[in-house]
A and B are shown apart, each in its own frame.
Chain A
Amino acid sequence: MNAIEIRNLSKSFRSLYAVDHLNMTVPVGAIYGFIGENGSGKSTTMKLLCGHLVPDGGSIRLFGRDYTDPGVRARVGALIENAGCFPNSSVYQNLRMQTINLGLQNPDEEIRRVLRIVRMEEHAQLKFKKCSLGMKQRIGIAMALLGDPALLILDEPINGLDTDGMRIMREILLDITGNYGCTVLISSHILGELEKIATHYGIIRRGRMIMEISAQEMDARAQVFVSLKTKDMAGAKQALSEKFADVRFDGEYLRVYDVQDSAAIVNYLMQKGHPVSQLKKNKIGLEEYYVELMSGKEDA
């Protein structure tokens, strides 16, 4: 059983498709990184999943049930765009309202639990409007975590967070999936952060899913490359291009792709009169993979 199964989902605004016959599959227990440019349809898809928007067509199933099923929707936690809290109410009051909404037993205990998870125990009495952006995002996560959510839908939860805030958010997400078995659908533009936690990725463009891939597959597919420096970079590039298929400039470095044996490159350049001063072997990250994929689609 999958946590989310979307088939041929469409949503248009003034005859312009924001989501265009989208298919998506999120396995139970996954942290699914939902990636795409601004306006690609990520937020619209998430709002459709939460029942905020009415689809033009297609189907959405959550844990094998229709998404309009009250039983399954009662176990969806969401943070879409903002925390959705009343600014003049305290953090505690906002969380208290959500515990009432969900009909939770022991609300105070639940509130303490989620505040502990998001490291906000000290700020329960603070008015929501007095909280910093990072705190507001964490409160949004806390709201979504109340009760026993089987699925968390998080739209850009790490936007605007500082490095420490991002680290905390990362730890929170790993904690709730690892310890509570929650499935997480998360969108973000900060692909480097997403890469550290996601188990699956979905890449959306112009409302269509262009690729779904697990982190393991992504890792296997990721190109290995060697970055190097020599005195005569142009000469070295020319020499390398005669032997290797993919050689590119990357700032101060030269990159040689799909090479396993870096010693062979060093020896080859030495023979050609270009001694290597610096060398490192690496794999392309999610961000580069995404950029390459997008530029490929653009060309196509």
Chain B
Amino acid sequence: MNPKRVAIFLVAGLFFYLALYTWNLRTGLLTRLSIYSGLDSVGAVLRPGSWAGHAAGGFVERYLSLVGLKQENEALREEIKALRLESMTLRERAEATARVEKLLGFPEPPDWRREGARVIAHRIGPTAILETILVDRGKLSGAKEDTPVLCTEGVVGRIYRAGLTVATVLLLTDPSSRVAVVGRDNRAAGVIYGMGAGEKLMVKYVGLQSSIEPQEILVTSGMDGVYPKGLPVARVTSVRREEGTLFMDVQAEPLVDIAHLEEVLLLKRAARPEDSRPLWD
């Protein structure tokens, strides 16, 4: 082949690629097309196998759990008693708080609906450089980008890409993940940054004057506009105060065992806006 023709072909190809890449960055059309075709077909292929795996695993687990069932029952009964007592106290406190908020004219918090979803895969394909999981809920069931995802232990992440029937969840541990948090006991505010799989989370922008202790639970502050306030996110593992800096060096660990996640909850905001009152009201 003529080298000149090869060079022209390569340059034309590169030009076409760059034009396509830039055009798609602006319009997002090809990304949407690949999500609705590729992501959903991946979901359709993986879902039956994942369901079969869960069913088989559940069967084996149920069989194995028959061993030591009596002792477990007794321990659970004790736990239920303790939780009932705690729930009673907390209910009283919650009702009192609601009354005070009403008296002070606080706007009502937005309604969030929970919907269960099954994890059908973790990272997928050659371009899987993000820490993600794939769940079996998509736009058809109301899941959309930035929908918070949690499990019973705490925050898992948020939806990064939503297809029609499946969605990709960006995990808390991904380096591009940010969550605005506050200490549950001392109320020190900060932002949690993911540092990659298996790594501790970094809590940035915690002021030197703030109080924060190891083992303190960090909950969402609601300041990022993605997560509702008060969801548990991580536990502080180390706090260092260094001279010459404005902020403390705080590390934390996620409350959720991400590697073994099987089911998650999607938190969907109700149609009503968070605070529909005008600012001057």
A and B pair up: no
Interface of A with B (CB < 8 Å)?
Answer: none
